[in-house]
Amino acid sequence: MEDQMQIIPLILIAFVENAFKHGIVSDADHPVKIDLQVQHDLMIFEVWNLKSAQNKDNTGGIGLSNVKRRLELLYEGRYELLIDETISTYYCKLALHL
C-alpha cells in the first residue's frame, strides 16, 4: 500500500457539484465532462460544462472559496488551479503534485 497516493477528502467534490448545480446536464450533445489522470506524482483533474442561464442559488461561491483555502493550507506550492468561465461555459483544471 506504500505506492498508493492520497488526496485530502472531498477536495474534488465542489467542482463536480458545481457542474451539476449550475450547469446544463440534459444536453446530450454537450455533456458535463470530468477527467482525472494521475501520472507519476501529478494528478490532473478537469471539469467542463455548459452553464445554465439561471442562477440556481446565491451562495456566492462558498464551496470554491473553501476549496481554494484548503488547497493553500495543505498543498501550498504544489498545486495549480485554473478556472476559466465564459458566458456559456465553465472549465476548471486542478493540477496537484502528490
Q: Is residue 13 part of a domain?
A: no
Q: Using alpha carbons, select from 56, 18, 50, 16 the residue that is nearest to residue 35.
A: 16
Measured CA distances, 30 to 14, 51, 60, 92 (Å): 21, 11, 26, 16
For 74, phi and psi rounded to 5 degrees? -105, -20
Examine residue 12 and state whether it is found in any structural domain, yes or no: no
Task: Indicate the residue type of 23.
Answer: G
Is 8 a domain residue? no
- pLDDT at position 60 over 80: no
Here the cell at position 6 is 492520497
Residue 34 lies in a domain: yes
CA atoms of 61 and 67, how far apart (whole Å): 10
Question: Does the residue 58 lie in any domain?
Answer: yes
Q: Give me the pLDDT at residue 2, please.
A: 55
The domain in which residue 80 lies consists of: 26-97
Average pLDDT over residues 60-86: 92
How many angstroms separate the CA atoms of 49 and 88, rounded? Answer: 9
Task: Identify the CATH number of the domain in which residue 76 sits.
Answer: 3.30.565.10
> Is residue 3 one of the residues assigned to a domain?
no
- CA nearest to 21, candidates 67, 59, 69: 59
- The domain tally of the chain equals 1
Q: Does the structure show a pLDDT above 90 at 7?
A: yes
Q: What does DSSP assign to residue 3?
A: T
Please indicate, yes or no, if residue 77 is contained in any of the structural domains: yes
Q: In the predicted model, is pLDDT for residue 58 greater than 80?
A: no
User: What integer best gives the mean pLDDT of the chain?
Assistant: 90
Within a domain: residue 18?
Answer: no
